[in-house]
Structure 1
């Protein structure tokens, strides 16, 4: 599998699982590499091809081997991006470009995939009678537009397109949706960093749906708590509160969630996030005999009994604007 991932793989269908790590597959944290290999085991039997793009010019997986430079901001093409978030924002550019050009699904390397993509949404998207529409072209066009003239995220929110949002740059909406991240920076910075400013009506619900573990044990001190629970041994005392919580967390994910996004936090939250802890403790995610190992095993060997995922409709904002995509 690693040999195939390190090679150029021509695009022959829309069943593509795209991902990105700026310095290449072999430089990903080991827990992320395990995620990627798991994606292959889960999805390749139904015809999916997994690729991890990079920005290494002589790499077979160099991003511009797959997408046209015209689809990307000049800062990416020319290699002039700077600041601490070059990798995440490069992935944001490539997400739209890959899906626009070839189709498929783009995944963060930190995603623990639990349910095969055919059973998450792909079968529905392929159905000509499905009511769902794909918003990627609009998202990508808008994202590339606001990045014109920028080498980093600073000032993106000051674009005239986002003027109507300036009055409401607070966390009230996310808190009302039980999205209780303990941010250590203000709302404007979060909007610029996490690309929340574009008008994708399904984004908040889709992303909240990626936080099954947080919904189970809470957002407060999540990283350390999740790390401790998944590191708990299966042969620990079953009468302790920690054992009960680890059991509930693991089996909720395996039975009721399609995926779990494990985030690093990138300095935007109070306390350490799970991805940061796993980055600095190789192997902790899958220690033998732990709930973490059970989670990894279950994603590849168990099949959920539910026939379809639960769709949660995003609430309509109190104030909306009827404008063209690039109309200030």
Structure 2
């Protein structure tokens, strides 16, 4: 299932690791830190780091450990008076009024959608969703190619095929230097959707997006959903993706920015099924099975090395060797995903230590995420944009049928 030569041990990468304790790093993450370069990791939790689930906190703490001193991890929030409030980083002019007023009454994920792009546009770096376990250094995933003056790559994202022959960039992992023109326009389109509303209901019918087809889940996920998916509601939930789709299919006659050409020349796409959802793919998206394997004891006097143990060993080591990250999403709930995810299981209070319980395969995954490295190359997604209609229209103007 894996080649053990694909992993390097801790002695090979130990120089990169931040050796502070979890408690020291957690305290540090709750303070605001100066932005001194483009090497920033940005994430958001609306109620602040202290209110994260324990497994999510450990994700972010391990980013700090794994990336070492060259990168600064920033956890921003939407808490009034907080030192790490988003309003200490980004001017209110870049947000819709409902976000400023704190009156958004839909899914909390949409607050994160509103903050990720202005942070990247102003400061540069990487956006990573907090529910992401990082398994290799971001330099090796994409940043070396973005930083290379000989490389055309200016923005990196993971992508899934939501529609036939079309890979859609996701927004849970984004990397770019500051002042990226695509990022700024993408954000402007999304903010325009929020004019006069407090939630995303009906965004798929908005004049800026209604010409686009609704998004559909990849078949391997949709086939496991126990109830029929409301794809219009799901498209509202991922309207942030749709704004990117709009931009990559138009050329603005007013300012000359050709989103289609820019996307083709400067986007570094990675295959999400390989680099983000590999753990789910090899376990058939069975969250309970993932939980059971990770909760098994890996070491100790009472451990029996049987077929079940070997399955867990192969699963975790294959993940450590073959993917850049493990994204653990929560489904959007009513109107969207009904499938229970590993994140939902670890959220339960009785499971708050199960992602890192001593001696388990989960703890082995955590250890490997900071102490092991991979020898494989992270490949650019081999996909050419199909011949699609490019709309010649202002990027904030409706497309007339």
Match runs of 1:1-328 below 5 Å: 1-45=25-69, 47-83=70-106, 85=107, 87-134=108-155, 135-165=182-212, 168-169=213-214, 171=216, 174-175=218-219, 180=222, 182-183=224-225, 184=227, 185-195=229-239, 196-200=241-245, 207-208=272-273, 209-219=275-285, 222-235=286-299, 236-240=303-307, 242-267=308-333, 268-280=336-348, 281-306=351-376, 308-314=377-383, 316-317=385-386, 319-324=388-393, 325-327=395-397, 328=399
Q: What is the TM-score with the length of structure 2 in the denominator? A: 0.73
SS of residue in 1 equivalent to 2:242: coil
| 8 Å CA contact 2:215, 2:235 repeated in 1 | no
Q: CA shift at 1:317, angstroms?
A: 4.8
In 1, the alpha carbon distance for the partners of 2:347 and 2:244 equals 33
TM-fit CA distance, 1:182: 3.9
Which is worse superposed, 192-201 or 122-131? 192-201
d(CA) in 1 for partners of 2:135 and 2:379?
A: 15
Cα pair 1:182 1:269 within 8 Å, conserved: no
Cα distance in 2, alignment partners of residues 323 and 232 from structure 1: 56
Distance in 2 (CA, whole Å) between partners of 1:318 and 1:216 is 33
User: Contact (CA 8 Å) 2:294, 2:312: kept in 1 or not?
Assistant: yes
In 2, the alpha carbon distance for the partners of 1:12 and 1:181 equals: 46
- Please report how far the alpha carbon of residue 22 of structure 1 lies from its aligned counterpart in structure 2 after TM superposition: 0.8
Deviations 1:156-190 (A, max 9, x none): 1111222222xx43637x33xx5657454311111
CA distance in 1, matches of 2:297, 2:144: 37
Which is greater in Rg?
A: 2
Higher helix share: 1
Runs of 5+ consecutive residues of structure 1 not aligned to the other structure: none
Which structure is higher in strand share?
A: 2
TM-score by length of 1: 0.89
Answer whether contact 1:182 1:270 (CA < 8 A) is retained: no
Give the RMSD, CA atoms, in angstroms: 2.2
Shift of 1:270: 3.1
Greater alpha carbon shift after TM alignment, 181-190 vs 291-300 = 181-190
